[in-house]
Amino acid sequence: MAKKLLGKDVAQHMQETLEEKIAALEARGVTPTLALVRVGARGDDMAYERSAIKRMDALGIRVRQVILDADASQQALETAVAALSDDPDVHGVMIFQPLPAPLSAEPLKAILDPRKDVDGMSPVNMAKVFSGDPSAMAPCTPQAVIEILDDYGIDLIGKRVTVVGRSMVVGRPLAMLLLERHATVTICHTKTDALMARCREAEVLVAACGRANMIGADMVGDGAIVIDVGINVGADGKLCGDVDFAAVEPVASAITPVPGGVGSVTTSVLAKHVVEAAAVLNGVTIDT
Ligand code: NDP
């Protein structure tokens, strides 16, 4: 039976560390502040918004909600993001994506101050992630995977790690973060030959392919550590991951559940990034 790697425990440890950093900022008159920019009223966005606000409230991070109508113009969105980027009282800005058509996030990546880019969308942060710059703010989800591995003391040096998925929000940045931890990383995608073999040989297998229950027991090596990034709605209407948890748990040595795994750590990473940004923007040195 595999050990369950629980996101709530990781989030709790991160919260304890963050509380100290926030107190240090408060002592200097800085209240870390996050702006959440939502266009329209998508259910997914609103659910994440609620959970982000809950996490920030628990930590004493101020939240400013900026909500635009689903039919807002590109100009209105860009103006809103530019105002937040220039506002000295705002330290982090997260823009819910995907944006409703025909809006484009591309121009926003250049408008947003990279120091406030707490979900790692800007080319500046992505370049830092790819070059191994420690000042990078990576997208929250891949960073959440790293936080879980770190919290459970999973050593990555020299390990064979396979990441299934190569998107710019999860697979690719995650592969770079793992490489920075000296893992030997294989990135798989829909054109990968012998996907099963690439997965089976992994000591740490990360599923980020967006296919409900795709990773079965036959794709997992004995005793592998399995991290499931996927969030899907299964045939039974319930939330499930990209890993078939019931089938894989007996084979793996450790596994993240869905829900309760990676997804429960992303808002803590968001909070961590807001705190780091508040420190940088105010010239305060805190060790995060
Ligand atoms: P994308 O759809 O953008 O990317 C999926 C990737 O998986 C692609 O690179 C694709 O390959 C690859 N892939 C898809 N099917 C297969 C297959 N059959 N075999 C091999 N590779 C495959 O998804 P995201 O990266 O945005 O998200 C991945 C998962 O993570 C989703 O389940 C999503 O819901 C979840 N997620 C979870 C978050 C969290 O907080 N836990 C946050 C963000 C996402 P190719 O490039 O060739 O098309």
Nearest in space to 195 (alpha carbons), one of 169, 163, 242, 230? 163
Residue 124 Cβ inside 6 Å of ligand 1? The answer reads no
Q: What is the pLDDT of residues 226-261, one digit of tens each?
A: 999 999 998 899 999 999 999 999 999 999 999 999
- Average pLDDT for the chain: 97
Largest CA distance in the chain: 56
Per-residue pLDDT tens digits of the chain, which is 288 residues long: 899 999 999 999 999 999 999 999 999 999 999 999 999 999 999 999 999 999 999 999 999 999 999 999 999 999 999 999 999 999 999 999 999 999 999 999 999 999 999 999 999 999 999 999 999 999 999 999 999 999 999 999 999 999 999 999 999 999 999 999 999 999 999 999 999 999 999 999 999 999 999 999 999 999 999 999 999 998 899 999 999 999 999 999 999 999 999 999 999 999 999 999 999 999 998 765
38 CA to centre of ligand 1 in angstroms: 23
Give the H/E segment covering residue 52: helix 43-59
- pTM of the entire predicted model: 0.97
231 CA to centre of ligand 1 in angstroms: 9
Mutation to probe ligand 1, out of 140, 163, 189 (largest number of atoms < 8 A from CB): 189
Q: What is the pLDDT of residues 118-162, one digit of tens each?
A: 999 999 999 999 999 999 999 999 999 999 999 999 999 999 999
27 CA to centre of ligand 1 in angstroms: 42
Nearest residue (by CA) to ligand 1, atom 19, is 190
CA distance 130 to 256: 26
189 CA to centre of ligand 1 in angstroms: 9
Q: Please state whether the peptide bond connecting residue 259 to the residue before it is cis, i.e. omega within 30 degrees of 0.
A: yes
CA distance 226 to 10: 16
